[in-house]
Structure 1
Amino acid sequence: MEVVEKVVTDRGELVLRRDAGHCELISNGVFLMDTRSGASERTLVDAAVSAVAPGGRLLIAGLGVGFSLASAVSCATLAEIVVVEIEPTVVAWHTTHLESFSGGALRDPRVRVVVADLGQWLATTEEQFDAICLDVDNGPDWTVFDTNAALYADAGTALLRAHLRPGGVLAVWSAAASEDYAARLASTVGPVSTVLTEVEHGEPDVVYLARLAGS
């Protein structure tokens, strides 16, 4: 295992390490994600985009190792892709160590990166989207940072809903199923469907899709 870079951020220590050609992100000693698969992250975007008409605007909440963004860029019908990522170091790594995993997607002219806390940014912008893909921490029931839990609570879910256009879709990645969160999505946003992705060990990854009523 090779440590590629280790930095101290406002949220503590962030480590990028490499193992057998793959990269891992470690935050304060806790594993966040790696580049070994990305199937469920691609599913997150593909499922959301499939419900969006040509010319739509997509918000990706969380850049991670770039699988979601690469999948979004591959969709020619999207007019604009906004990525909100809190950690500038992660954005910088996508011009170096992680560039091959995101396919150089940051260079796509439709892509705009906002370096900010998602909740704070949403509270200060009036931008609306046809689809929002939320992939922050490990989902509603296991967050590495306590502040991220607010995104999955009642107020955070309502805030995300406020930035959907009529008929828009909120797609949420989770490391495990959460009946309580699915119920919150249904009551706050609209009808919910679920897509499962089997993983090598443990419970399947889950993508929740909640659709807002049209105008």
Structure 2
Amino acid sequence: MDDLPETLARGDGIAGELALRRRGGQDGVYELIVNGTFLMDTAETSTERLLADVLLDRHDSPRRVLVGGLGFGFTVDTLLGDARVDRVDVVELEPLLVDWLRDGMVPAADVVMNDPRVHIEVADIRDALDDAAPELYDGILLDTDNGPGFLVRDENARVYEPPALRAAADALAVGGVLALWSAAPSDRLAVALADSVGDVTELVRTVTRQGREVDYHIYLAQRRPR
């Protein structure tokens, strides 16, 4: 019976029905479910943290960072652990998720939601990229869906296409890093990223989920001079 999930909150979100669940009691695992489909949890967060690490490792002065997709806050939390980071702008589509984390429903997110360096906007990341000032960011980290090959929300396909990637490149200072999380490999994304930003690196992280090994991918490029 302990493995049965407890639904902590449920509501109609932008992408459909959103549910926050917990397994294993107060100190257990928190899960986000969209339209009955698993999206993320707090059990395995290494690749969310890796998304931040690729920027911190590759940029000498990552002062201002844009994160597309709040999740449970692990990418942002990793950024905040680096004293070089002065500001993190977070764009999250689902207002329910922001409200739940602000209300303390996921304890691990408390530090992120209360840090004065964090500025959260409820919006579509594509609109935020289109509206961003040129060369504003040292890093842009996108974890808005499960990647181009396994979408929870069909509209998010455009996040991985050349117009959005070019908008992200324009918002990056020269030498800035654009990194995207993906649940599956995508040669098409790698090509579009190379054309729009710069030379591409693909990182593969193998994690264990429910007794089986799964490969997750991060695609990153550093903005070249125009």
TM-score where L is the length of structure 2: 0.89
Q: Which runs of 5+ in 2 are unaligned?
A: none
Q: Which residue of 1 aligns with 2:153?
A: 145
Match of 1:38 among 30, 35, 45: 45
Conserved 8 A contact 1:168-1:214: no
By how many angstroms is 1:87 displaced?
Answer: 1.0
1:8-157 aligned at under 5 Å gives the runs 8-20=12-24, 21-54=28-61, 56-95=63-102, 96-98=104-106, 100-126=107-133, 128-157=136-165
CA contact (8 A) 1:62 1:136 kept: yes
Contact 1:94 1:104 in 2 (8 A): no
Between the aligned residues of both structures, percent identity stands at: 37
SS of structure 1 residue aligned to 2:150: coil
Aligned partner of 2:216 in structure 1 is 205
1:7 paired residue number:
11
Partner Cα distance (2:188, 2:13) in 1 = 32
Q: Please tell me whether the aligned partners of residues 14 and 26 of structure 1 are also in contact (alpha carbons under 8 angstroms).
A: yes
Deviations for 1:8-64, whole angstroms, at most 9, x for unmatched residues?
Answer: 123321000111211110111111111101000100101112222236211110001
With over 3 angstroms needed to count, the CA separation of the structure-2 counterparts of 1:182 and 1:203, relative to structure 1, is farther
- Which residue number corresponds to residue 184 of structure 2? 176
User: Who is 1:193 aligned against?
Assistant: 201
When structure 1 is superposed on structure 2, of 63-72 and 45-54 the one drifting more is 45-54
Give yes or no for contact 1:54–1:79 (8 Å, CA) kept in 2: no
Number of residue pairs the alignment of both structures matches:
214
Q: Tell me if the contact between 2:68 and 2:125 (Cα under 8 Å) persists in the aligned partners.
A: yes
RMSD across aligned C-alpha pairs, in angstroms?
Answer: 1.5
Conserved 8 A contact 2:178-2:222:
yes
Structure 1 residues 52 and 28: alpha-carbon distance in aligned structure 2, compared to 1, 3 A threshold: same
